[in-house]
Structure 1
């Protein structure tokens, strides 16, 4: 039985063999493109999840590994698009709520959001918080932060990514409220 046919029938042994044979190659393919081990791990996992979930629609005419790399490429593009949109929204929200508001309700909401952001920042590990503050509040580039703190640019990128992810998690249900209070 060929690999694609076995996958379409839900054969987990064949999937596991593919996973162990190609996981590391997919990971390094993404790592070369992004220079981020975090993104490479996330996209690699998403690739195999999608590969399994959409196994019935795999082409019988292409090798499984070629289809894996196609899925990895499109998953990376989707991931980067979503992260870019998310980062822009968070930065916009942070920028917007720190500006003085003309209305009393706006000022109250602004203070509440500042308090929530301050609390979210307090919960971060010290280095992550410092890197995030240098980037977002002082406007320093990744390279400048890396140089000042004697870190690699990748480490700075990872800290910022994790900080944004932590803020997103902390604000959770508040994001729709923020969007309502401060339309984009």
Structure 2
């Protein structure tokens, strides 16, 4: 199986994904008590496995390699969260007028929105930008891209779901920081 994945066999990768996704998800959840973070780290693990498949060690069990990738990915995500929490704490301790605070919040939200949009697949990104940023109707977008209105609606729904997930971790951190 390792040789097949290393050679780029998507079917073999799919089998490994099906077998180990639940195991990794539960492992990460047991460490974080967050299904959102567990799902994110598990997905990151498989993305890293696929992107770095040429460096797979054929002499080491796939399970060991997956759990190592998951562990380092979890550490990376926790560091990112801790850096964000530290920045928010430092910032919250500074005295800032409400007008400046509002501008900073708006700028941060816009930055996060741009990052979330950049992570979308190209067609979804294009449709979401045309709809929500540029304000075009679904009918106009469908005609311009030669697709159905239902397809436009589906991409917008998926884009919004993707952005909700992207913002959820930020919201959870802010709640934990300021309300607990």
TM-score (norm 1): 0.56
The count of residues paired between Structure 1 and Structure 2 equals: 116
Deviations 1:64-111 (A, max 9, x none): 121101100111111101110111112222322xx16xxxxxxxxx44
Matched residue of 2:60: which SS?
coil
2:171 corresponds to: 163
Q: 2 CA distance for matches of 1:94 and 1:57?
A: 44
Matched residue of 1:59: which SS?
coil
User: What are the residue-to-residue correspondences of 1:54-133 with 2, within 5 Å?
Assistant: 54-96=52-94, 99=95, 110-116=97-103
Question: Which residue, out of 35, 38, 42, partners 1:37?
Answer: 35
For structure 2, the residue ranges without an aligned partner over 5 or more in a row are 108-166, 175-180
Q: 2 CA distance for matches of 1:21 and 1:86?
A: 34
Q: 2 CA distance for matches of 1:87 and 1:4?
A: 39
Per the TM alignment, residue 115 of structure 1 is displaced from its structure 2 partner at its CA by 2.2
Label 1:54 to 1:118 Cα distance change in 2 as closer, same or farther (>3 A).
closer
Report the RMSD for the aligned CA atoms in angstroms. 2.7
The 8 Å contact of residues 90 and 164 in structure 1, kept in 2 or not, is answered as: no
The 8 Å contact of residues 43 and 79 in structure 1, kept in 2 or not, is answered as: yes
Label 1:49 to 1:118 Cα distance change in 2 as closer, same or farther (>3 A).
closer
Q: 2 CA distance for matches of 1:7 and 1:160?
A: 33
Which is greater in Rg? 1
User: What are the residue-to-residue correspondences of 1:5-16 with 2, within 5 Å?
Assistant: 5-16=3-14
